């Protein structure tokens, strides 16, 4: 969705991303059981939020310039909805929308916050 290819990240950044995912118990292709990862609010812990923010920041920093430009081209008052569509989030809560709207002028920060949001995490 963001044009980021984890396998193409430089070694240190790739290791940081894998560590952040591992700390959350979300290493791609390595589920905790044959049933996959837990669903719902199991991911919404204080420690998980810290690791989600780190992983989200790593991913947002590598977002494709085309994605950032496309988001910047959307009027600021419509960027939250545009980002929801991009990330396949049905809707953000009013609280999350307010935080994202405040960051609308900083696309990378907005993406980081959206990737770490409860709506993205549990959808």
pLDDT band for position 39 (50/70/90)? low
pLDDT band for position 105 (50/70/90)? very high
* Structure-model confidence comparison of residues 42 and 26, the more confident one: 26
pTM over 0.85: no
- 94: tokens are 């009013």
Q: Please state the rounded mean pLDDT for residues 59-70.
A: 92
pLDDT at 10: 78
From residue 115, give the alpha-carbon distance in Å to each of 11, 33, 40, 53, 87.
22, 24, 16, 8, 8
* Structure-model confidence comparison of residues 80 and 116, the more confident one: 80
pLDDT at 38: 66
How many CB atoms neighbour CB 100 within 10 A? 21
């Amino acid at each position: 969705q963001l044009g980021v290819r984890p396998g193409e990240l430089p070694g240190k950044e790739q290791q940081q991303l894998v560590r952040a995912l591992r700390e959350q118990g979300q290493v791609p292709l390595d589920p905790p059981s044959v049933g996959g990862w837990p669903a719902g609010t199991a991911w919404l812990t204080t420690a998980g939020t810290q690791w989600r923010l780190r992983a989200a920041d790593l991913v947002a920093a590598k977002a494709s310039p085309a994605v950032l430009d496309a988001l910047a081209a959307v009027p600021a008052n419509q960027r939250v909805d545009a980002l929801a569509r991009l990330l396949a989030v049905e809707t953000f809560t009013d609280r999350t929308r307010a935080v994202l709207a405040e960051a609308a002028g900083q696309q990378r920060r907005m993406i980081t916050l959206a990737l770490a949001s409860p709506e993205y995490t549990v959808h």
